[in-house]
Amino acid sequence: MATTPRVTVWNEFRHERTDEKIRSIYPEGMHAVIARALREAGMTVRTATLDEPEHGLTEQVLAETEVLTWWGHQAHREVEDRIVDRVQERVLDGMGLVVLHSGHFSKIFRRLMGTSCSLTWREIGEKERVWVVAPSHPVAAGLGEYFEIPHTEMYGEPFDVPAPDTLVFVNWYQGGEIFRGGCAYERGRGKIFYFSPGHETLPIYYQPEVQQVIVNAVRWASPLGWPAVPIPSPKIKGGNRRIPLEPVPSQ
Amino acid sequence: MATTPRVTVWNEFRHERTDEKIRSIYPEGMHAVIARALREAGMTVRTATLDEPEHGLTEQVLAETEVLTWWGHQAHREVEDRIVDRVQERVLDGMGLVVLHSGHFSKIFRRLMGTSCSLTWREIGEKERVWVVAPSHPVAAGLGEYFEIPHTEMYGEPFDVPAPDTLVFVNWYQGGEIFRGGCAYERGRGKIFYFSPGHETLPIYYQPEVQQVIVNAVRWASPLGWPAVPIPSPKIKGGNRRIPLEPVPSQ
Amino acid sequence: MATTPRVTVWNEFRHERTDEKIRSIYPEGMHAVIARALREAGMTVRTATLDEPEHGLTEQVLAETEVLTWWGHQAHREVEDRIVDRVQERVLDGMGLVVLHSGHFSKIFRRLMGTSCSLTWREIGEKERVWVVAPSHPVAAGLGEYFEIPHTEMYGEPFDVPAPDTLVFVNWYQGGEIFRGGCAYERGRGKIFYFSPGHETLPIYYQPEVQQVIVNAVRWASPLGWPAVPIPSPKIKGGNRRIPLEPVPSQ
Amino acid sequence: MATTPRVTVWNEFRHERTDEKIRSIYPEGMHAVIARALREAGMTVRTATLDEPEHGLTEQVLAETEVLTWWGHQAHREVEDRIVDRVQERVLDGMGLVVLHSGHFSKIFRRLMGTSCSLTWREIGEKERVWVVAPSHPVAAGLGEYFEIPHTEMYGEPFDVPAPDTLVFVNWYQGGEIFRGGCAYERGRGKIFYFSPGHETLPIYYQPEVQQVIVNAVRWASPLGWPAVPIPSPKIKGGNRRIPLEPVPSQ
C-alpha cells in the first residue's frame, strides 16, 4: 500500500517561454514550482508539457500516474482528442485529477463535467480571500477559516459546472464577486478537484497556502492513499455487462 | 407564464419497425404511447425520430421545446454529433431532458454526464420494485412507497454516472441486484432526469405508474413550470466573460 | 390540487414593540410586511407571534398551514419545547419551512439541522451582493445573476450547518466575507429553505428582490404546489414499522 | 500526526447479558468483537457500555477519542441527555462517529440528523447483498461490487434520514426491499457514517467484509487520519462570533 502517490504535473508551458514578464516569475515554468512543492511533501513527481510527443502523456506515463495535475490556458485546442480520451479513461478507472485555474476551460475538464465550464473574469490584481466552507474535508486540512491572496485574477459566477459533490472553498474578491473556487467531484472511480487560484502573471503558486491546497488535493485524489482504494479490473469503461441470473436460494 | 410545457418525445424507432414482436406491443412506436400519456396530462407534445431529417431535432423544433424525452438503443452511434451539440447547448440553456431506459448509453446523456454511463443487465423478465427514496421530490408525486413492474429487464450497479443531485428512486430486482433508477441532475440551466424502467419487448410504457413518473419528470424538468424559470440571455455557453470593475463605494 | 399554499408567517415580534427605531421601520412588525408580499403573490396568509397562546402555533393552525416562515432573534429560548416538537413533526410530515435571517439560531432550525448553526456577524451597514449559484432552482426564479442589498448586517462563514442539498445563493460582503445565504434542505417529507438577508434595523424586507425570494421559497417549499406532493399517511414519525414477508412469486 | 486513531467502541450491552442465545454468539458482547477487529487493524481501542458511570463516556474518555462507534437497541431512552449533549459537541468539534445497525434510533444519531430516523424491518433471516454505489469512497476500499450477508434482519425504506452527503452502500434483500445501508455525513467538523448490517442474534460482526467496512469507516471518520485534519480551537459550538471590520486596503 503505497502512501506516496506518483504525480504527473502537466503544464501547457507556452506563456513562460514567450512572455518575458511571465518568464521572470516562473523561469522554469509553473510546473517546476508545483512539482517542487509536491516533492517536498514526499511525493514522486514527473512533469509533462504540451509540446512533448503525445503531450508527455503516453500510455506508459499515465499507467504510472496516480494523480495528474493540469494547467492550460491559451492552447486548450491544441490538446489532441485522442490524448483527452486517454486521460478521461484513466480518470474513470481511478486516477486522480487536479485542475488548476484556467484549466477550467481545458478539454479534459469540460469533457468530465459535461457543461461549458464558462465563468466571468477580471484582471486588475485585486485582493482575494479563499474561504473554507467544508472544514472537515481533507483538501482543507491545515488551513484556517480563510487565507488571502494579495493580488489575483478574479474568477466569478456564474461558473457553469455541475454542483460539486463537495464544495470546499468559496472565494471572495475585492471588486464584488464570489466564486466556487474549490470543487470536489467523483467521476467513475476517479476523484477530481478544481482549484481556482493561480495565474501566469502572478507568483501565486509560490504561496504556501496555495501549495498546501495542491498537496492536500493530490493526496485526497490519489487512489493509493490512506486507505488504499484499489484500481479495479475489469475496466468499467468497456460497455455494459450482461449478468447471468444467480438463483437466489430459498430461505 | 405557460404552465403546459411543450414536449418533444424522441424515439430511435427502429425496433418497432423491424421486429414483429415489438411491433405487436408498440405498433405506432414507443414514442406514440409516451406522447399520449403526456397529452392526457395536458401538455403540448410532438414526436421526433432518428430517421427524420436532422433526426427531427431542427433548430426550430428545439427552440419550441421546453422538455425533450429520449429513448434510443441500437443506433446510438447514428445520431449525428452536430445534433448532439445542438441538444447539449439547449439543455445548458434551460431545456429539460428526460432520458429513458437504454437512453443511458446515448451520446447526449454520456456527453452531459462526462462518464461512461455503463451498467450491468439481464433480460429474463424478472420482477422489479421501484422504491422512492426522496419522497418530497416532485418526480415522486402521487406515488406510494414503491411500485412494481411485474416483468422487466434488470439494470444493475455499478452504474457509472455522477452521483445524482437528487437520488429519487432505487430499484430492487428479484435476481439480486439494485439500481439507482431515478436520478435528477442540474446542468447549466437545464434539468435532467434519468428513469430506468421501459423496454422495447415489454409493455412497461403502458403502466400507469411509469407514465405518472414520466409526466412528473417532464413537469419538474420544464423551465416554464411552476414557478417560472426564465430561459436566460445572453447565452451561458459562449465562453468566459470579462467583467469590468464596478467600484465599490465606501460605506 | 391547490396552487395557493396557506402560509403562516411567524415573528418573534419583540424588537418592533420595544425599540423606537425599529418600530419606525416596521410599525406593524416584520411579519406584516412579509405577509403582505405573500398575499400579493396570491397566497392565503395568516400571522403568528411569540406572545400569543402556544405562540400562535396551535395544532389547528399547523394543520391548516402548508408553509411556515420563521423570524426570531432575542427570544429563541422562550419558544416552548413542546411547540418546537410540534413544528418539527409537521415539517417531517411535509410542511414547508422558510427560515429567515437570525432565525438560523432558532430552536426549530437547530433541531432540524442537528448542528450548532453558529456563524460570524458584523453590523456596520455594509454592502451585500446575493449571488445565484443554482440558476435552475425554483427559488432563484426571476432573479438575475445577483442582486444587491445596499446596507446589511454581515453574516459570515464558518456557518455550522450541514452542506445544503442545494446551495442556491452565496453572499458577498464589502468587508471581506462570504456566506452561504440561500440553502435548500429536504428533511422527512418537508422542504426547508434558509435565507440570510433581513434585519430588524434595516428595511430589507421591503426590497423587491428579497420579497421575490421569499415568495419563491414558499412556493418551492409547499407540499401542495406544482406538482402536488400529497402529505402521507400513516405518519412517518411514529417509529419503525415491521414489514411482513410478501412472498416474491417465481417468474 | 497520529495515523492510528484512538477508538471508543460503545455498546448498550444488555442483550448479551440477558438472552442466552445472544450470549452464545457474542459471549463478551458485540463490542468485544468489534474492538478486536479494530485492534487487528492497528488501532488503539477502548470500550464503553451503558451501565458504566456516565455510560463510560466521561469528558476524559471523549477527549481521548478520535472516533466513537455506537451500537444500541432496547435502551436508547436510558442514555442520559447530558451525555448525548456531550457526544454531539465532540462530533461537531471533529470526533468521528460510526453508527451501527439499530443505533439508527439512538438519541445521538437522531439528534445529529434532525429527523425521525425511522425505517421498516423484518426479522426472518433472509439474504442481503450490500452493493457499492460510490466505488471511490474510502469506506468502500477493498470491497468488490457487492458482498453478501447470508442471514440478516431486513431494514427497509422509507428510511427517514437526510439524503447522505455520500451514499456509499445500498442493500438488497431477498424479500423485496432495498435500503440505503451505508450513508456518509459531515456535521460541524465531524464525520458520521451509518452502516446498517449487524444484529444481536446473528454473527454478522464476525464477517470479514463487515469488519472491513467498520475499519474503513473509522479511518475515514478520524480527524487525525491521512491527511491530518486538526481539531479546531476556538470551539465552533459556542455561539455566533462578532467580527470587526478589517479594512480592505485599496489596490
**Greatest CA span in chain B, whole angstroms?**
76
> Rounded to an integer, what distance in angstroms lies between the CA atom of residue A189 and that of residue A233?
11
Which residue is it, cell 402560509?
Answer: C7
β-sheet bridge partners, residue A125: none
Q: Which candidate from D127, D135, D251 shows the least CB-CB separation from A248?
A: D127
pLDDT at residue D247, as a whole number? 54
- CA D60 vs. chain centroid, Å, equals 20
**Could you write out the DSSP letters of every residue in A69-88?**
EEE--TTGGGS-HHHHHHHH
Q: Which of D116, D185, D229, D248 would best serve as a mutation to test chain C binding (most C beta carbons within 10 A)?
A: D116
Q: Which of C84, C95, C118, C122 would best serve as a mutation to test chain D binding (most D beta carbons within 10 A)?
A: C118
Chain B residue numbers with beta carbons less than 8 Å from the beta carbon of A243 are 120-122, 154, 156, 175, 177
Q: Chain C: give the shortest CA distance to residue D124, in Å.
A: 8
Which residue is it, cell 470500550?
Answer: D47
Taking CA atoms, D175 is separated from B4, B146, B172, C162, C250, in Å, by 41, 14, 10, 34, 12
Which of D196, D228, D217 shows the shortest CA–CA distance to D94? D228
Q: Complex ipTM, two decimals?
A: 0.92
Q: Is the dihedral of CA A127, A131, A137, A140 positive or negative?
A: positive
pLDDT tens-digit map of C111-154: 999 999 999 999 999 999 999 999 989 999 889 899 999 999 99
pLDDT tens-digit map of A202-216: 999 999 999 999 999
Q: Which candidate from A151, A165, A219 shows the least CB-CB separation from D227?
A: A219
pLDDT band at residue D3 using 50, 70 and 90 as cut-offs: low
> Rounded to an integer, what distance in angstroms lies between the CA atom of residue C221 and that of residue B64?
29
Across residues D149-172, what is the average pLDDT?
Answer: 97
Which DSSP category does D135 fall into? Answer: T
> Do the Cβ atoms of C172 and A167 come within 8 Å?
no
C-alpha grid cell, residue D5: 486513531
- CA A115 vs. chain centroid, Å, equals 17
Which residue is it, cell 489596490?
Answer: D251
**Could you write out the DSSP letters of every residue in C190-232?**
EEEEEE----TTSGGGGSHHHHHHHHHHHHHH-TTSSS--PPP
β-sheet bridge partners, residue C183: C167, C194
Pick C53 or D144 by higher pLDDT: C53
Mean pLDDT, chain A, integer:
90
> Do the Cβ atoms of A156 and B243 come within 8 Å?
yes
Across residues A127-135, what is the average pLDDT?
Answer: 96
CA contacts within 13 A on the Cβ side of B184: 26
pLDDT at residue A9, as a whole number? 98
**Cβ-Cβ contacts under 8 Å for B10 (sequence gap 6 or more):** B31, B47, B48, B49, B55, B56, B57, B68, B69, B70, B71, B72
> Rounded to an integer, what distance in angstroms lies between the CA atom of residue C202 and that of residue D178?
51
Across residues A172-179, what is the average pLDDT?
Answer: 96
pLDDT at residue C238, as a whole number? 53
Residue A244, preceding bond cis, omega within 30 degrees? no
Q: Which amino acid is at D53?
A: P
**From start to end of chain C, where are the E strands?**
6-11, 44-49, 67-71, 96-100, 120-132, 146-156, 166-173, 178-187, 190-195, 241-242
Q: Is the dihedral of CA D162, D167, D173, D175 positive or negative?
A: positive
H or E stretch at A201? none
Question: By three-state DSSP, how is residue B72 classified?
Answer: coil
Which residue is it, cell 470543487?
Answer: A183
pLDDT at residue C142, as a whole number? 87
Which DSSP category does A197 fall into? Answer: -
- Neighbour count for residue B142 (Cβ, 10 Å): 13
Across residues D217-236, what is the average pLDDT?
Answer: 60
> Rounded to an integer, what distance in angstroms lies between the CA atom of residue A198 and that of residue C244?
60
Mean pLDDT, chain C, integer:
90
End-to-end alpha-carbon separation of chain A, Å?
40
Which of A31, A65, A64 shows the shortest CA–CA distance to A48? A31
**8 Å CB contact between D71 and D102:** yes
C-alpha grid cell, residue B36: 399520449
- What is the signed CA dihedral for C205, C160, C82, C77, rounded to 10 degrees? -70
Burial (CB count within 10 angstroms: exposed 0-12, middle 13-18, buried 19+), residue D60: exposed
Q: Which candidate from B125, B142, B230 shows the least CB-CB separation from C142?
A: B230
Which phi and psi angles does A101 have, rounded to 5°? 45, -120
Pairing of strands B120-132, B166-173: antiparallel
> Do the Cβ atoms of A134 and C163 come within 8 Å?
yes
Which of A61, A69, A63, A57 shows the shortest CA–CA distance to A31? A69
Pick A226 or D54 by higher pLDDT: D54
Taking CA atoms, D53 is separated from D50, D72, D79, in Å, by 8, 17, 11
Mean per-residue pLDDT pooled into runs of 10, chain B (251 residues): 80 96 96 98 97 97 96 97 96 95 97 96 95 94 93 95 98 97 96 96 96 96 57 50 63 39
Question: By three-state DSSP, how is residue B179 classified?
Answer: strand
What is the percent of chain A with per-residue pLDDT over 90, rounded to a whole number?
A: 84
> Rounded to an integer, what distance in angstroms lies between the CA atom of residue D210 and that of residue C202?
56
> Rounded to an integer, what distance in angstroms lies between the CA atom of residue B249 and that of residue B209?
57
> Do the Cβ atoms of A176 and C129 come within 8 Å?
yes
> Rounded to an integer, what distance in angstroms lies between the CA atom of residue A122 and that of residue A101?
13
Q: Which candidate from C122, C187, C242 shows the least CB-CB separation from D244?
A: C122
pLDDT band at residue C251 using 50, 70 and 90 as cut-offs: very low
Confidence check: pLDDT of D21 > 50: yes
> Rounded to an integer, what distance in angstroms lies between the CA atom of residue A42 and that of residue A23?
27
Chain D: residues touching B (Cβ < 8 Å): 129, 131-135, 145-146, 157-159, 163, 166-167, 170-173, 176-178, 180
Chain D residue numbers with beta carbons less than 8 Å from the beta carbon of B177 are 129, 131, 172
Q: Which candidate from B174, B232, B251 shows the least CB-CB separation from C248?
A: B174
> Rounded to an integer, what distance in angstroms lies between the CA atom of residue C13 and that of residue C30?
8
Confidence check: pLDDT of C235 > 50: no
Confidence check: pLDDT of C208 > 50: yes
> Rounded to an integer, what distance in angstroms lies between the CA atom of residue C198 and that of residue C212?
13
Q: Chain D: give the shortest CA distance to residue B158, in Å.
A: 6
Across residues C64-93, what is the average pLDDT?
Answer: 96
Confidence check: pLDDT of C93 > 50: yes
- Alpha helices by DSSP H, B58-147: 59-63, 81-93, 107-113
Which of C139, C116, C104, C160 shows the shortest CA–CA distance to C209? C139
pLDDT at residue B4, as a whole number? 81
pLDDT at residue D241, as a whole number? 79
Q: Chain C: give the shortest CA distance to residue B48, in Å.
A: 26
- Neighbour count for residue B54 (Cβ, 10 Å): 15
What interhelical angle do B208-221 and B30-40 show, nearest 10?
Answer: 70
Count of residues making up chain B: 251
C-alpha grid cell, residue A1: 500500500
Residue C234, preceding bond cis, omega within 30 degrees? yes
Burial (CB count within 10 angstroms: exposed 0-12, middle 13-18, buried 19+), residue D170: buried
> Do the Cβ atoms of A129 and C171 come within 8 Å?
no
pTM: 0.94
Chain C residue numbers with beta carbons less than 8 Å from the beta carbon of D175 are 243, 245-246, 248
Nearest CA in chain B to A126: B245
Q: Which candidate from D159, D176, D180 shows the least CB-CB separation from B172?
A: D176
Pick A93 or D225 by higher pLDDT: A93
